[in-house]
Amino acid sequence: MSLTDAEFAASQRNAPTCVVVERFRADFPALLRRCHVSVSQAGYNTVLDILAARARAVLVPFAAERETEQSIRAEHLAARGACVVLRENNLAPATLGAAIERAGAGKPMDLSIDTDGARRSAALIVGMIGK
């Protein structure tokens, strides 16, 4: 989901002084390592960044138009204690605040995931074709 420039500017203006609203940061992984709680959707790259940073997280998976990928990913992580999930249809200031409190009260995630999928996939394919 992409905000228009006007919507983005309004988000920045309306944010409390302790909240920074930005579209993109090249140093996002470094910021995650220092955050108290990350609030994000559950896209593949974002989740990998969160896991690599061992950040406490609230995931609000994108689920419009019958999308299931982010919800499945978020639920699997939540089942392992790696995040708190908040559904889009339950997103409100009070529910988000409560989810942030729950995530912040937990331990930083300690979930080891192999992120070397390209190398492992290539090795599996080579093994299947017998070379």
Say if residue 1's pLDDT is above 60: no
Number of domains composing the chain: 1
The answer on pLDDT for 104 being more than 80 is yes
CA 23 to chain centre: 15
Q: Which domain holds residue 122?
A: 5-129
In this structure, what CATH number is given to the domain that contains residue 55? 3.40.50.2000
User: 2-16, pLDDT tens digit by residue?
Assistant: 779 999 999 999 999
Q: Coil, strand, or helix at residue 68?
A: coil
Least confident interval from 42-46, 55-59, 102-106, 107-111: 107-111
